[in-house]
Structure 1
């Protein structure tokens, strides 16, 4: 069958649905059928699933002219999704095509949710089209004879590639692809990505920086003029002293009319605890919404989440309060409006959430921005500009993740074994390991066979045996079983399941929260007030309670930091505060009273200025610096500066930071003039000073826990019998200390430090920020009182010491004094 005839089948199908294929869909069909690899850049809700399922099915029709009567069984294509929640939807799209075109192709799903019965069935007979996750793909590679399973696979699609890029799951995917390229003689690799800044690099990481795949590839951009409207909810009463405490609840009544006039509204919060609180407060103030409003976040049980997703599709919910658990892919046509509560910290995340509304080609997306404090209106204004200019962040790919590579090599050794000379060139073709030297490769092979130098007397670290033919193989069934249980790269704080005493499952909570509760304590979770009874195994047992409480679980994900792009946009917006009002956005105009109050004691900095404020209070001497670079950078910069100051004169100070700036609070005054004269903001010697200033050993030790788990040095336990996080932490700390003292050239030990600097402290960004400050005029203001800019940082520090009620009272008193 000619290509034109095949394309006619696809166009005909679209015609029957009363749709018209987009140019990017046709372009993708053509490129795929010509045998090309590629990356498709298309927004959510634009029909990208049909852009790739179609050519996969058409390719099968082309190779099997008798497809309606004769069916050739076996795996033909794999679709990888980072979220198993999306798999049902992807399956429905594929089935519509295979059934309507009367092929006999079967579609199956294999994720962590797939039943044992279904897996056993797949073992004997694979579906033609398989939807899976990066982890489940690795599990398939760990089964004996996997090469026969994949042999006739002609396509692999990696969905939401921008979400995997820049994570270890992305590295895991790169390694899986490197193996499939060798096994499948005629494999086409395609990625689908929403907008990111470094699309060309994203394609290079997907296909490998060298080799034929990249040369025979194409980058297709969907040119759909999607209209995104950003509306800020500007408070009628503008606070002159903003603080982060009230989660935006003072604007709750402004949200009610928005909910009422839309079919369905999604309210996005940045943290699960904020999600819980908003859900409770809306129901408390508006009980008429009972049954029409729901909550969705990653710690709520799967059944509830699926029920909520289905209820959105059926238009039976007015509103859903959610977190990033609804950021990706799920297709909700009825959603008309999105409300973002608090700054989203990144442009891509904001655009992704905006795209949840008007989720149909050609429909307008409407997103409301609700600031949790006045300063966030500057972010709202920056977002308006970002949407206009389509300014989006880059995703930075990982390099040399030895832990993921050790896990992958063990996976190969568990299945059919591997010959190092055959696998090394494959691994070198990936982006992550393109610089892997022979010497490092030998170290990794020795590690698999003997454990590291300092552990070679312990048998438990010897997992892989070298057979007579040079093949590396795991022959011990217990080792193989433990390895299969632990495949994956997501290592979080240990999660405990939350269950009623009689056994009903509610969801999961991080161990660090539960460990602070005493029996009888009441906390809010999944929209209910629950009384904590006891911990039994890996479960926290609870009962319903009618008591009121202000305890809400906090999750470690709650400390998001500005992306580099976001910081840049924020600074540009802030600098417009000095312009005449005609050139200002509505948000910046509304902040006029706050800027006026700021100028009474200090200044609103210009592009060429770096502001430092100092004042004294009953807490001590406050020294506040405003780089406007995001909390992750401020964490590193504040430690660096405190260390350099301590070299001039011995001083102890406590640090506080937010996205706008950081504070050094000390019991005696720091001589700022001395700081400036000694050029303490210099980027020179930054790395060695950082290592001394931060407890970098402590940070690397925490990082090492994840590395130890991923590389399999520490076992996390069997399902239902997990190892407690404190035991994991102590086992990995023990290993860390052994390597520190006896084997500091251990690649996994060194990786812990590299990741701490590059990913946690963003060393490159910190250096650029210091270089920028070196170019600016430094303005030092000696103030009598806290300024509006410093207020959120000071009150944030108080939060550590006071309960929410006491904090609110104290801030009211402080604000009263300052606004006299």
Structure 2
């Protein structure tokens, strides 16, 4: 399509900036003009956001209005996974609106928006509202929502890959179905740079069964990214550790050499830890900032503003900034530690430069040898343009219950009409009449075992067959507690004058006493008082510990795990590795075996008067943790006296008093039939999953007017209800929802089943007389698996060198002799 269809005012604005309207931008306009939904997959810096909003800008262009008055009311909804992204888009969207002179008002709405502005937005909305899935769901819970959204023309979903496959995507899919029912002509648009399965996302975006109505728009290719892996100066790649502390001096030099460097970490702890280490070597007093989700809104806004104005030389951040934030003057992106996926890495790399025709520069900093292999695999995947991502799964019943309650808060509903609406969302197309009836009656009474309690009675069917609230106060309680992101309970961190710094987890705060110091928000703080849900602090100059957080680990993708296994099994490719990494693999290949893409390698050896077995699954931490629990249970039943296990993304080490002669017997697939079920039901996992679904579904409320329950109070309430339901109603809809979470998210049963299937047919067991080179990285974790990453790196490295000495040095008489596998099942 030619750019002549772009309104002349907008075309002239492009010309004035010496830009051209890119093909994918005009294609998005064409799709909207044709009344079609659209999925845009385009590289970072390709102008995706402008492409998404181009139809909106065109609708307000004088040449298209042709003398008519500009439309009033809410025209376009923009939904993003991050509040920071919405604010960044607002800044960038206002530029063309003001310079072209379009009569468009733009506002944001999130948890940070003042309540008076939220109230006004429901009756006098802007033309464009930038929001998040949770805030949109809350808007739909108000009676005014029908009038508010009646004239809605478009919904633009940015970075759709970041949440479509999870519970936030479930909530958004249900919201889209409700919006489509209110405004039948509404068009949907979704944007992403890292979609691995465009057809899957087209199906998710479309109203159920209408995938042909979704145009797939592919962006112009940009300049390939320039990705390097940082290696120690004249030293060896570390055996263990994740914090990459060794790289701090080199990282500081990179900051000095570039105008602006964005440094990503995978956890909030590592963000604080890396920032502290950089500040310790910051002799030049360079302006370096920190950004993560636990910092206060004021602290985050201050850093974002400074970054946008080019006032920072470096910023250390978590995933709180890896989506779409457009700072075009970033010279270099650094990934500290393993990237865990090629799409995630590609997304983060795209924060650099942010121009399609110029390459983004990135530096990967591995914390240990396995992370070096993972970084190499991710770099090669990015070089080849290979993306990865999570699979779609059935929508969560706890999210569905929350949505039903939101709909009831807005107005009475008929169950058949709402079911048809729910089924039009792909995650819930599977919901049948029986499931629907169970969800409705859960929202209405809490379920059979709880229906005698009035506090669980939220909706009731009236005489005309409509479901309505039992009392108006339930609407206020729903809006106070609704949401999908269930963090650990947090305490506010404040100075005595009331200034907020952010929040730390209740679990960490419980370990503190007045006079203790901790590092937070880039400062050393001393505790003055802990009262209720607040931590009062003052500035300190003392050395300080860093808060740890219990958030979920980023999972190693199946795609990247497969690449690492292929790399290990290809000796011809080892020449491209540093000398010490190549030597590590060569000695492993000589003394034992290498893992392969189609076999499961298990090594057994004695060490320190114990017997160890290491299982090289490459299945990710969750699956390996689950496997460790199951294996130790079977070892106990067989009299092998297990003593413990430790896991990382790549392998699992189990130890006991007696050797494992037959690992195949411990790995038979029937372990999932009864033992897995028994273990999950009797472990903390199902209780923890139930705690989350109970909060999301609204069964347990964390917040009351003027008061918030502590984590202990929430846990007590959910555990009590869980015990009642397990005993009297084991088929309760929330027990089913908790099971789905425990299996998919907490134990990763899909990847665990793949490991067991491989073990059944293709297991290679090697018996050694001592630790193997490949086992050293996991062995050094023993005793430190609960230590915050980075805090024990020096000790860990000393122990690693001791183990490595045993693994890499042949004993007398061993030269030329290689251990052979005791069993090889092919």
Smaller-chain TM-score bracket: over 0.9
2:226/2:361 contact within 8 Å kept: yes
Q: Is the 8 A contact 2:600 2:755 kept in 1?
A: no
Structure 1, 249-258 or 195-204: larger mean CA deviation: 249-258
Q: Aligned-pair distance for 1:28?
A: 0.9
SS of the residue 2:753 aligns to: helix
The answer to whether structure 1 residue 797 and structure 2 residue 785 are counterparts is: no
Contact 2:260 2:331 in 1 (8 A): yes
Question: What is the distance in 1 between the residues matched to 2:163 and 2:486?
Answer: 15
Give secondary structure in 2 for the equivalent of 1:557. coil
Which of 588, 605, 611 matches 1:615? 605
Any idea what the Cα deviations from partners look like across 1:55-85, whole Å, max 9, x if unmatched? Answer: 1232355997355x73442111111111111
Once the two structures are TM-superposed, the CA of residue 235 in structure 1 deviates from its matched residue by 2.0
- Specify which of 263, 267, 273 is matched with residue 263 of structure 2: 267
1:294–1:692: structure 2 CA closer, same or farther, 3 Å change rule?
A: same
- How far apart are residue 390 of structure 1 and its match? 2.0
Classify the secondary structure of the residue corresponding to 1:727: helix
Query: What residue number does 1:65 align with?
Result: 65
Q: Select which of 233, 242, 251 maps to 2:247.
A: 251
2:214 aligned residue: 217
Corresponding residue for 1:657? 647
TM-score by length of 1: 0.93
Q: Which residue of 1 aligns with 2:347?
A: 352
Please state if 1:762 is matched with 2:758. Answer: no
What residue number does 2:52 align with? 52
The 1:800/1:20 distance shift into structure 2, 3 A limit, reads closer
Q: Deviation string for 1:559-604 (max 9, x for gaps)?
A: 333111111111112222x22xxx4463365512322443564333
Unaligned runs of 5+ in 2: 810-826
Q: Which aligned pairs between 1:532-543 and structure 2 lie closer than 5 A?
A: 532-543=527-538
Residue 227 of structure 1: which of 224, 227, 231 is its match? 224
1:356 is paired with a residue whose SS is coil
Which residue matches 1:701?
A: 687
1:710 to 668, 678, 696: 696
Cα distance in 2 for partners of 1:807, 1:282 equals 21
Structure 1 residue aligned with 2:663: 675
- Say whether the 8 Å CA contact 1:400–1:436 is kept in structure 2: no
**How do 1:172-183 residues align onto structure 2 when only pairs under 5 Å count?**
172-183=171-182
> What is residue 822 of structure 2 aligned with on the other side?
none
Change (3 A) 1:308 1:240: closer
Note if contact 1:33-1:59 (Cα within 8 Å) is conserved in structure 2. Answer: no
- Measured in 1, the distance between the counterparts of 2:98 and 2:526 equals 51
CA distance in 1, matches of 2:650, 2:435: 41
- Structure 1 gap segments, 5+ residues each: none
1:730 to 716, 722, 730: 716
Aligned to 1:19: 19
Partners of 1:24 and 1:85 in 2: CA distance: 25
Per-residue displacement from partner, 1:475-526 (whole Å, max 9, x unpaired)? 5232221111112111110111111233221111111111122332221111
Are the equivalent residues in 2 in contact too, given 1:196–1:395 (CA < 8 A)?
Answer: no
Which residue of structure 1 lines up, in the alignment, with residue 496 of structure 2? 501
Is 1:37 aligned with 2:25?
Answer: no
Deviations 1:647-677 (A, max 9, x none): 43363331111122111111x21332x334x
Alignment-derived partner of residue 162 in structure 1: 161
> For residues 777 and 744 of structure 1, what CA distance do their matches in structure 2 show?
38
Instruction: Tell me if 1:426 matches 2:416.
Output: no
Compare 89-98 and 726-735 and name the one that shifted more.
89-98
**2: CA distance between counterparts of 1:735 and 1:62?**
60
- The Cα shift of 1:819 comes to 6.7
Select which of 526, 542, 545 maps to 2:521. Answer: 526
- Residues of 2 paired with 1:61 and 1:339: CA distance? 41
CA-CA distance at 1:207 after TM superposition: 1.5
- Superposed CA deviations along residues 20-44 of structure 1, whole A, max 9, x for unmatched, are 0111111111111111111111233
Bigger drift between 194-203 and 596-605 goes to: 596-605
Q: 1:816 to 1:650 in 2, by over 3 A?
A: closer
Q: Residue 619 of structure 2: SS of its match in structure 1?
A: coil
Residues matched between the structures, number: 804
Residues 93 and 620 from structure 1, CA distance in 2 versus in 1: closer, same or farther, beyond 3 angstroms? same
Matching of residue 409 in structure 1 with residue 399 in structure 2 = no
Q: How is 1:473-488 mapped onto 2 (pairs within 5 angstroms)?
A: 473-488=468-483
- Cα distance in 2 for partners of 1:530, 1:326 equals 25
Equivalent positions of 1:510-525 (< 5 A) are 510-525=505-520
State how far apart, in whole Å, the 2-side matches of 1:755 and 1:607 are.
28
Contact 1:414 1:475 in 2 (8 A): no
Cα deviation 1:197-248 (Å, max 9, x = unaligned): 22211121121332x4x23221111131331111111224454871116x21
Distance between the aligned counterparts of 2:234 and 2:645, measured in 1?
Answer: 32
Q: How far apart, CA to CA, are the structure 1 residues paired with 2:712 and 2:165?
A: 28
Q: How far did residue 12 of structure 1 move?
A: 2.8
Does the CA-based 8 Å contact 1:613-1:624 persist in structure 2?
yes
Aligned counterpart, 1:136 = 135
Deviations 1:109-143 (A, max 9, x none): 22212222322332331111211111111121111
Which residue matches 1:561?
A: 555
Residue by residue, what CA displacement relative to the aligned partner does 1:434-465 show, whole Å, maximum 9, x if unpaired? Answer: 11111221222222222210111100000113
User: Does the 8 Å CA contact 1:3/1:33 hold for their aligned counterparts?
Assistant: no
